[in-house]
Amino acid sequence: MKAVIFDLDGVIVSTDELQYRAWKHMADREGIPFNWEINNRLRGISRRDSLEIILENSSKTYDEQQKMELITFKNDYYVKLLDGLTQDNILPNVMELLKKLKSDGVKIAVGSGSKNAKKILDKTGLSNVFDAIVDGTEIKHSKPDPEVFLLAAAKLHEKPENCIVVEDAKAGIQAAKMANMIAVGVSDARNSELADYKVDDILEVVDIVRELS
Ligand code: BG6
Ligand code: MG
């Protein structure tokens, strides 16, 4: 194993709560029921696909222009919430894991479907930590499509089969397997049947990489 590609939201940084608050802000304005169970179905997928899932619970029909307005309303609120991010929002043991991988000579990358990834990395002081970054502005197809991870491997000059993906979303685990990579599930992705490994503590990734090298 030569490289580890990390999802960002829910793996490196705890933005899940902010995503939830932003979608809830939009849903409350529209009178659409929204809760954490629905929010968990949005993990890893694009904002457009997320909106369609939220609208399953709406009695009103929205045309394309109205849908775009809802997405903009949500994203504007979300981006304001992101202003409050600091290094304290980096999830436990992540910095130690990145340091250990680097000292083992393993390349590290971010593979995120978020168009706000650069801002999140900037606010948390992680902009210059990774060997490669791929975000939602660079891809045509969002997870579970493997595009984001294949592009990350290409930027690292590594073959997909030499890469491990760490994900908190089932859609991300699917994407990793479609990319022919080893998939490690954390958080909600521990429920994924497709995950090759499921870990409680992200530091376990060090042992997985060593075991597979
Ligand atoms: C993923 C999140 O990382 O990015 C999803 O898990 C989100 O919940 C997606 O919908 C797109 O994010 P953004 O910031 O571009 O709306
Ligand atoms: Mg995620």
Residue ranges of the domains in the chain? 3-14+89-212, 16-82
Binned at pLDDT 50, 70 and 90, residue 48 comes out as: very high
In whole angstroms, give the CA distance from residue 196 to residue 163. Answer: 13
Q: Tell me the per-residue pLDDT of 190-212, one tens digit each, with 9 for 90 and over.
A: 999 999 999 999 999 999 999 99
Give the SS3 label for residue 206. Answer: helix
> Taking the CA atoms of the chain, what radius of gyration do you get in angstroms?
17
Amino acid at residue number 105:
G
| Any ligand 1 atom below 6 A from CB of 15 | no
Ligand 1: nearest atom to the Cα of 75: 16
Active site residue 9: yes
Indicate the average pLDDT of the chain.
97
Measuring CA to CA, which residue among 158, 195, 172, 173 is closest to residue 112? 172
For residue 12, the model assigns a pLDDT of 98
Q: Is the pLDDT of residue 10 over 90?
A: yes
Answer for the pair 60, 30: CB distance below 8 angstroms, yes or no: yes
| Mean pLDDT on 104-117 | 98
Number of H helices, E strands in the chain: 9, 6
Question: How far, in Å, is the centroid of ligand 2 from the Cα of 56?
Answer: 22
Are domains 3-14+89-212 and 16-82 of this chain identical in fold?
no
Binned at pLDDT 50, 70 and 90, residue 45 comes out as: very high
Amino acid at residue number 78:
Y
- Domain 3-14+89-212 matching CATH 1.20.1510.10: the answer reads no
| Any ligand 1 atom below 6 A from CB of 44 | yes
| Any ligand 1 atom below 6 A from CB of 192 | no
Q: Tell me the per-residue pLDDT of 68-98, one tens digit each, with 9 for 90 and over.
A: 999 999 999 999 999 999 999 999 999 999 9
| Mean pLDDT on 6-33 | 97
Which of 12, 16, 18, 47 to mutate for ligand 1's pocket (most ligand atoms within 8 Å of CB)?
47
Instruction: Give φ, ψ of 5 to 5 degrees.
Output: -105, 120
Binned at pLDDT 50, 70 and 90, residue 143 comes out as: very high
Answer for the pair 184, 199: CB distance below 8 angstroms, yes or no: yes
Answer for the pair 59, 33: CB distance below 8 angstroms, yes or no: no
For residue 93, the model assigns a pLDDT of 98
CATH homologous superfamily, domain 16-82: Putative phosphatase; domain 2 (1.10.150.240)
